[in-house]
Chains A and B, each alone.
Chain A
């Protein structure tokens, strides 16, 4: 509460409200709504039934019109709160609608029909979360398979990235050798080689290696990230060389120095790279789209985009799957966001 009131009552200082205080206030509150609103809307929508999704104007929360089985009618009837001519209101079930009049029955006494103007009746709605949107895709869409593929790609690629990049960073920071600056230059130069520039020949290389329609074809091209080498090298440069020399005196092998001394000391930078890598690989789209053409190999991102592009889009499933796809990234945002923001602010890399 303290923070909230301090925020609301914050002024530029001195007396009265400066116009910049108002702009700040509007910008921040507007930003809060615009940045989070769409995602919140997505989450609420994902709990609606197909009928609820088709409604206009839509309700914010997932409401469902209540139904009741009435004796003498095969299908369940929708329940309405009807205002009767005598001023009283009763809960009635609608049998059919003719023009602006609705034929209704009382569920307790199904014999008599009551005619009500459609403007005098409002549907009886209750809050109901359509959790089947989340459970059904596992049956219908092989969703578990996509989830597993995405997790496999993300975890494997991140582990390999950490090992391979840290080894290279170790060599580039702690050894003097010919061609070191050339190697560093090549790595930095390719920082700006985007996938869209090399995707055609990369595809031919992947297929000649037999990695087309293979998750390893998605993983391998991504693991030698120049960003990772760069971040880790900058960090390793700060580790004093005396430590390494002392270890050599104690007859430690170079591998032991890397594994037992340098890596543990690089842990903070490794953590930042791991967070980045998980987000990158989880979100990758274009390359998996090219490499994977068999349905059982799709990652979540590819599966989602293919299903959402189909003619009969089953939005209730798509929305729920989108929410699930969003979960790991939201977790990273909640718990690890400050590592990423300081990482970007420090290096200007993403």
Chain B
């Protein structure tokens, strides 16, 4: 009893200067309210967020189009010269559209190709694993919230930490080689092998994000009415049939949302991979965001205009995916209303 009063006393002591500050702020705001009226205060409350939002999100979004039509290495827009669609045509100049190496910007097309295969494989595996995990977590488990937390743990870790943990495991003297050594496999430097590194980026991003999607799917599974299952059981329906006829169709809206979310996030893959492999060896794990980052900032042949053009192309893909997601959401809402 005494501890609670003590903490609340400490809390009010800490909050005292804040309350004083708020009271001082209230004085000019009252006169502002007198001048603008109550609806004017709405603009006041909205202003800080919209201002920051406008400067750091909307403005860059608009400038990006202008940027992509200018050339040179300068960053200030005033110092850049207008080149029209040159950056775009540079991205699309290819000897043969079937061979990325014949393109003028072969790095871009290598990144596009890598990202494409990464997205296809990672999202497919992600959905499968997340679905199985969600189905298992939806069973009548002891300590379900504990198990849910187990799969969620890596989601909170920073990409840099994720990258470093796995870089350490895939070392020559790392845990993976140690495990394989027990079965008589010789140690191998996984991160110097082009194919294994690609596989590693898929596996690591799967490990890091799977829990997030499993969580959304689990929420969807728990929303399916229990009486449907009870009715099926009474009719003696086989479990496989229950899955295909009840679970999957009713989970479909959540599943589609998860697919699109996973696609959107996979297209932008960067952080973990950058720490784990740096895009190498060679160009085997060089993905689109890294191309934009290096073309815009890091490379000696810096070309912000080209990076902007590439980022707009990537943005278009994301917009299409987002529209699909909104479409799904709307259809789901309509169904709900009916």
Would you call B315 an interface residue if the criterion is a C-beta within 8 Å of the partner chain's C-beta atoms? yes
CB distance A203 to B297 under 8 Å?
yes
Tell whether A183 pairs with B50 under 8 Å between CB atoms, given A38-B165, A197-B318, A201-B308: yes
Shortest Cβ distance from A174 into B: residue: B42
Q: How far is the CB of B257 from chain A (nearest CB, A)?
A: 6
Q: With A171-B45, A199-B293, A201-B67 as known contacts, state yes or no: A35 contacts B153, CB within 8 Å.
A: yes
Let me know if B57 and A254 touch, CB within 8 A: no
Q: If the complex has contacts A35-B151, A200-B311, A221-B56, are A167 and B48 also in contact, measured as CB distance less than 8 A?
A: yes
Inter-chain contact B322/A176, CB cutoff 8 Å = no
Which residues of chain B from 254 to 298 have any CB-CB distance to chain A below 8 Å in the complex?
A: 257, 261, 264, 268, 270-271, 274-275, 278, 288-289, 292-293, 296-297
State the CA gap A315–B155 with chains docked (Å).
24
Interface residues of B in 114-133 (CB under 8 A from A): 132-133
A24 & B136 in contact (Cβ 8 Å cutoff): yes
Residues of A within 8 A of B181 (CB): 56-57
Contact A198 B25 (CB under 8 A): no
CA distance A34 to B129 in the complex (A): 13
**Are the CB atoms of A164 and B61 closer together than 8 Å?**
no
**A148: which B residues are within 8 A, CB to CB?**
none
Q: Are the C-beta atoms of B216 and A345 separated by less than 8 Å?
A: yes
Task: Check B142–A10 contact: CB distance below 8 A.
Answer: yes
A286 interface contact, C-beta 8 A = yes
Interface size on A (CB < 8 Å)?
98
- Nearest chain B CB to A58's CB is how many angstroms away? 5
B270 touches A329 (CB 8 A): no
Give chain B nearest CB distance to A207 CB in angstroms.
Answer: 6
CA gap between A258 and B58 in the complex, in Å:
27
Task: Count chain B CB atoms within 10 A of each CB in A168, A176, A187, A346 and give the residue with the most.
Answer: A168
- Write out the residue numbers on chain A whose beta carbons fall within 8 Å of the beta carbon of B64: 197-198, 200-201
B178 touches A204 (CB 8 A): no
Residue B26 at the chain A interface, CB threshold 8 Å = yes
CA distance A285 to B48 in the complex (A): 25
The reply to whether the CB of B53 lies closer than 8 angstroms to some CB of chain A is yes
A341 close to B149 (CB less than 8 A)? yes
A87 located at the interface, meaning its Cβ lies under 8 Å from any Cβ of chain B in the complex: no
Residues of B within 8 A of A315 (CB): 168
B100 at the interface (CB under 8 A from A): no
Task: Tell me which residues across on chain B come within 8 A of A10, comparing CB atoms.
Answer: 140-142
* Contact residues in A for B22 (Cβ distance below 8 Å): 255, 259
Main secondary structure of the interface of B (DSSP, over half): helix
- Choose one: A192, A204, A220, A326; the contact of B264 (CB below 8 Å): A192
Enumerate chain A residues within 8 angstroms of B38, measured Cβ to Cβ: 175, 248, 254
| Residues in B neighbouring A197, C-beta threshold 8 A | 61, 64, 311-312, 314-315, 318
Chain A residues, CB < 8 A from B56: 202, 205, 220-221, 224
Is B5 interfacial (CB 8 A cutoff)? no
Q: Which of B7-33 contact A (CB under 8 A)?
A: 22, 25-26, 29-30, 33
Q: Known A187-B53, A254-B38, A332-B156; judge A203-B296 contact (CB<8 A).
A: yes
**Chain A CB within 10 Å, residue with most, of B59, B177, B271, B314:** B271
**Contact pick for A171, options B46, B59, B149, B172, CB 8 Å:** B46
A201 touches B149 (CB 8 A): no
Contact yes or no, B318 A286, CB < 8 A: no
Knowing A177-B42, A285-B159, A348-B257 are in contact, say whether A200-B308 is a contact too (CB < 8 A). Answer: yes
What's the dominant secondary structure at chain A's contact region? helix
A6 to B144, CA, bound (A): 12
Q: Given the complex, which residues of B lie within 8 Å of A172, measured CB to CB?
A: 46
Q: Decide if B172 touches A56 in the complex (CB within 8 Å).
A: yes
CA–CA, A162 and B63, complex, Å = 28
Contact partners of A286 in chain B: CB under 8 A = 270-271, 289, 293
6 contacts between A and B (CB under 8 A): A3-B143, A7-B143, A28-B141, A54-B173, A172-B46, A282-B158
A-B pairs with lowest CB-CB distance, top 8: A168-B49, A283-B158, A175-B42, A171-B45, A345-B219, A221-B56, A198-B60, A201-B63
Residues of B within 8 A of A (CB): 22, 25-26, 29-30, 33, 38-39, 41-46, 48-50, 52-53, 55-61, 63-64, 67, 75-77, 132-133, 136, 139-143, 145, 147-161, 163-169, 172-175, 177-178, 181, 187, 207, 211-212, 215-216, 218-219, 239, 257, 261, 264, 268, 270-271, 274-275, 278, 288-289, 292-293, 296-297, 304, 307-308, 311-312, 314-315, 318-319, 322
Residues in A lying within 8 Å of B, measured CB to CB: 3, 6-7, 10, 20, 23-24, 27-28, 31-32, 34-39, 41-42, 45, 53-58, 163-165, 167-168, 170-172, 175-177, 180, 183, 186-187, 190, 192-194, 196-205, 207-208, 220-221, 223-224, 229, 248, 253-256, 258-259, 279, 282-283, 285-286, 290, 301, 304-305, 308-309, 315, 318-319, 322, 325-326, 329, 332-333, 337-338, 340-341, 344-346, 348, 350
Q: List 20 additional contacts besides A171-B45, A341-B149; criterion CB under 8 Å.
A: A10-B142, A27-B133, A28-B150, A35-B211, A39-B154, A39-B157, A58-B173, A58-B174, A172-B46, A193-B315, A203-B296, A204-B75, A221-B52, A224-B57, A255-B29, A282-B158, A304-B160, A319-B168, A333-B152, A348-B216
